[in-house]
Chain A
Amino acid sequence: ILNVEQSPQSLHVQEGDSTNFTCSFPSSNFYALHWYRWETAKSPEALFVMTLNGDEKKKGRISATLNTKEGYSYLYIKGSQPEDSATYLCAFHSSNTGKLIFGQGTTLQVKP
């Protein structure tokens, strides 16, 4: 069983705060780690696909880091805005299966 854990489960911040969440995954058989943004009543949209230990990716105010040896990834949002309110999902792709397994998500609420 592939265990993908995200923390915290939910987060409330004020507009302008910076925040970060964690995704933990198995440190063996690593193939790829995905991050998605999921707004209410919409479909998940991809943020990053990360494949190499030490990878850092950035998209506007959102960035992510990857540590495959210890099995974690961080997602950072700098200067949160109300439109950043969404659920952020990570997904782990093991090298010995074709499965992309999702964590339970971190729900972010940004108050104006």
Chain B
Amino acid sequence: NAGVTQTPKFQVLKTGQSMTLQCAQDMNHEYMSWYRQDPGMGLRLIHYSVGAGITDQGEVPNGYNVSRSTTEDFPLRLLSAAPSQTSVYFCASSQPAPRDSPLHFGNGTRLTVT
């Protein structure tokens, strides 16, 4: 059972480049979310989804796009990377919405934008 899988683990981008961070889960979880972790800031919610076809903004959505075409996948797109997006990104899922169920986290993607 793989759980939540994030790829890549590490990525270096130049300012202005675009890329997609992949997140897939095999637990049939309806709820999926993306967080970024910066020193002294804890985990900040970027976007989340309560099911296929439904997405919503979190605390820090600017500069990021998401889509949820399937239950399993929730990719995060950076359209034009900026140094301020240098961070560690975590994808997390739960079933159902996290009122009674904890989040299951992926192993993170460390992104550096130069």
Chain A positions near chain B (C-beta within 8 angstroms): 31-32, 34, 36, 43-46, 49, 51, 89, 91, 93, 98-105
Contact = CB atoms under 8 A, between A and B. Distances in A.
A39 B81 CA distance: 29
Interface residues of B, number: 27
Interface in B35-84: 35, 40-45, 48, 50, 56, 58-59
B59 A34 contact: no
Nearest to A35: B102
B113 interface: no
Contact of A93 (B98, B106, B107): B98
Interface string B77-107: 0000000000000100000011111111111
Q: Is the interface of A mostly helix, strand, loop or mixed?
A: strand
9 closest A-B pairs by CB: A46-B102, A43-B105, A104-B42, A102-B43, A32-B99, A102-B42, A100-B98, A44-B105, A98-B50
B102 A34 contact: yes
